[in-house]
Chains A and B, each alone.
Chain A
Amino acid sequence: EIVMTQSPATLSVSPGERATLSCRASQSVSSNLAWYQQKPGQAPRLLIYDASTRATAIPARFSGSGSGTEFTLTISSLQSEDFALYYCQQYNNWLRGLTFGGGTKVEIK
């Protein structure tokens, strides 16, 4: 099983500032990496897939980068609605399982 590790666990950011979230895979997943946002009581929402492609209707302030084992989600200027939990997920090989990172909580500083 590929283990996904997200850091930091909690990120305190002021509105308007930049947030940088990291996700590391225990082995290469190529660009088979997605990011999701989850708010309390809601299902996750797809933000980024294939490491850097924004999903439909996702604002341009969200961007993804990386390949192999190191990935980054950047929120360029945090809006109030962006304070939430963020998860990465690898989908390199279905037979070996699909796995999520433990999540990063972005909170208001």
Chain B
Amino acid sequence: EVQLVESGGGLVQPGGSLRLSCAASGFTFDNYAMSWVRQAPGKGLEWVSGVTGSGSSTYYADSVKGRFTISRDNSKDTLYLLMNSLRAEDTAVYYCAKDRANYGDYFQYWGQGTLVTVSS
């Protein structure tokens, strides 16, 4: 059974940093691209970033480019999102999601999400 468990969310001040983690199980982790998708309170879904199975290629939404860094540790079956220079508009539930294959497309499985609140 595929499981994705996010952690690392919390309250952070504007301009601060936070690192999210997503522990994966139930599939061969390094065979699949992974993504982060967020949802601001009461709003729709926004793809944030994606990474190939090897970690060699990364992709970002314009809204986070230059501030967020996606990475993965395939020895630990874990996906990360390092978020710097956080803004109030980054407040959202962040989901980690498994892609169909080793490239960005639709999301077969989702974690339960972790809430990031950016506020002073």
Cα-based distance from A81 to B100 in the complex (angstroms): 26
CB of B11 closer than 8 Å to a CB of A: no
Task: Classify chain A: how many residues form its interface, as a range.
Answer: 20 to 34
Contact of B106 among A43, A89, A101, A102 (CB under 8 A): A89
CB of A32 closer than 8 Å to a CB of B: yes
Given the known interface contacts A43-B95, A91-B105, A98-B50, the answer about A103 and B112 at a Cβ–Cβ threshold of 8 Å is no
Whether A100 pairs with B45 at a CB distance below 8 angstroms is yes
Given the known interface contacts A49-B100, A100-B47, the answer about A95 and B95 at a Cβ–Cβ threshold of 8 Å is no
Cα-based distance from A64 to B107 in the complex (angstroms): 17
Whether B110 pairs with A94 at a CB distance below 8 angstroms is no
A-side contacts of B62, CB under 8 Å: 1, 97
Whether B45 pairs with A94 at a CB distance below 8 angstroms is no
How many residues of B are in contact with the other chain, CB < 8 A?
22
Whether B50 pairs with A101 at a CB distance below 8 angstroms is no
CB of A55 closer than 8 Å to a CB of B: yes
B-side contacts of A1, CB under 8 Å: 62
Whether B45 pairs with A91 at a CB distance below 8 angstroms is no
Q: Whose C-beta in chain B lies nearest to the C-beta of A38?
A: B45
A-side contacts of B103, CB under 8 Å: 94
CB of A8 closer than 8 Å to a CB of B: no
Contacting residues of chain B (1-60) with chain A, CB-CB under 8 angstroms: 35, 44-47, 50, 59
CB distance from B6 to the nearest CB of A (A): 10
CB of B120 closer than 8 Å to a CB of A: no
A-side contacts of B50, CB under 8 Å: 94, 98
Q: Whose C-beta in chain A lies nearest to the C-beta of B108?
A: A46
Contact of B59 among A55, A95, A99 (CB under 8 A): A95
Query: CB within 8 Å of B: which residues of A?
Result: 1, 32, 34, 36, 38, 43-46, 49, 55, 87, 89, 91, 94-95, 97-103
Pairs across A and B, CB under 8 Å, 8 listed: A38-B45, A43-B95, A43-B112, A43-B113, A44-B95, A91-B106, A97-B59, A98-B35
